[in-house]
Amino acid sequence: MTELKTATIPGTSKPSAWITYVPALAFVLVMLTGFCVTVISLSKVPAESWKGIGEPQQLFGGESTRRFSAQLNAHFIWSKVFSQIERAVTWTVAGDTGTAVRTGCQDWFFLSDELEVFPDAEKSALARAGIVSNLAKDLKARGIQLVVAVVPDKSRIEQAHLCGLHRPASFAPRLDSWIDQLKKTGVDTISLAPTLMATTGERYYRTDSHWNEIGSNASAAAIAAHLHAEKLHAAPVVAPDPAALKSKVIDRSGDLLRVANLDGLPAVLRPKAEAAQLTTIVASTSATDPADPAGDDLFGDIGLPTVALVGTSFSRASNFVPFLSYHLGAPVANFAKDGGNFEGAAMAYLSGKTFQQSPPKVVLWEVPERMLPKPLTPSEQKWIAYFSAKKK
């Protein structure tokens, strides 16, 4: 058999074999340099600064990573430089986004929390349902209605953009299961999954963990319709004026780039910004104008807020509260908190002076599905113990 030989184009020469190893050698050099910098930097950190960093809640919530990076940057000025170089190399070469973020289809990012199987997930979700049920009973005794609105995972609604990312089949029933548990105890609960599934187009940002304005507006309209149907909102039902909504398109980079530590890279290396809708609600002369939170009707005719919203960053993203006010025909008192976990905003508001002095007629609690299976926080465990002791 005749041996096949590779032809060489005249005027050219075959590159030296060692050149092909340059990218790999550069990568190894960067990693070794970064390791040395890390060791030197961490040797200067006081021992007390690491207290509690290994606790499960801090690990699962990303707080341990944040504290580690903060200590590293604080004790060696060049550590941040090497960190950015390392991120640039690992992202460009391997598409690495760290442990907290997963990549789906092109330009689509998802939180790892939504895809992770947590230990004792069902037990944690059931315990949280108990917290909500007990709070609903306490509020009802005071003449206040609790309404829970559950926000489905981005990976549930935007499954078409997972592109190989594995979302366990066991996650499929957990949303409805948790909602059914609440309804059995008499808690008024709304699942926003059907609304978002029926809404056309992308409902979540590609590089963000939150819904975009399409998903936010659709969810706000569904909640407002529920409150009106259940006669939980005293304001008259008025047809929203489309002319009051003024939209434009802007370039936007989401929070998942920050979580993946890609936001500090040069623009040419970062994932490209996505085109996002930004809406402004034009003020009207109505006393219940949702665009005028300082209006006379903010606290209703009898001096009490009609609807008080507690929840997470979902309630503070993508104009959700302005949209809700727009569809309700009245302002909403917003007490949601960024990074408040499952119970943070609700407990802070219900334990605070504002609630004690001016209780609302309705407390609307926005709950993300991704919070349900996580390990219980010390704060949640205290509330569980409180309600257990109260029953004795």
Are 134 and 29 found together in one domain? no
Q: Are residues 348 and 206 both part of a single domain?
A: yes
**Which pLDDT value is given to residue 60?**
57
pLDDT at residue 364 is higher than 70: yes
For 247, residues 6+ apart whose C-beta sits below 8 A from its C-beta are 213, 277, 278, 279, 280
Q: Residue 2 falls within a domain, yes or no?
A: no
Residue 201 counted as domain residue: yes
Residues 77 and 206 in one domain: no
Report the Cα 276 to chain-centroid distance in Å: 17
Report, as an integer, the average pLDDT of 135-158.
97
229, 378: one domain: yes
Burial class (CB in 10 A: 0-12, 13-18, 19+), 27: middle
In a domain, residue 339? The reply is yes
Q: Which pLDDT score, from 0 to 100, does residue 17 have? A: 58
Residue 205 lies in a domain: yes
Over range 35-60, report the average pLDDT: 65
**How do strand 333-334 and strand 307-310 relate by DSSP bridges?**
parallel
The pLDDT, as a whole number, for residue 217 is 96
Q: Is residue 112 part of a domain?
A: no
Total domains in the chain come to 2
Residues of the domain holding 84: 21-96
Per-residue model confidence as pLDDT tens digits over 283-331:
543 333 333 333 333 344 444 568 999 999 999 999 999 999 999 988 9
Q: Which pLDDT score is estimated for 286?
A: 32
Q: What is the pLDDT of residue 38?
A: 64
Residues 256 and 225 in one domain: yes
Distances in whole angstroms, Cα of residue 273 to Cα of each of 64, 88, 136, 253, 280: 28, 17, 42, 5, 21
Is 225:272 a contact under the CB 8 Å cutoff?
A: no
- Tell me which of 178-192, 232-246, 349-363 is least confident: 232-246
Q: What confidence category does residue 9 fall into, taking pLDDT thresholds of 50, 70 and 90? A: very low
- Does residue 43 form part of some domain? yes
Q: Supply the pTM of this predicted model.
A: 0.77
Last residue of some domain: 59, 81, 96?
96
Q: Tell me: do 125 and 247 sit in the same domain.
A: yes
Q: Which of 159-163, 264-268, 349-353 has the lowest mean pLDDT?
A: 264-268
- Asked whether the predicted pLDDT for residue 208 surpasses 50, the reply is yes
pLDDT for residue 333 is more than 90: yes
Helices 79-94 and 22-42: crossing angle, nearest 10°? 150
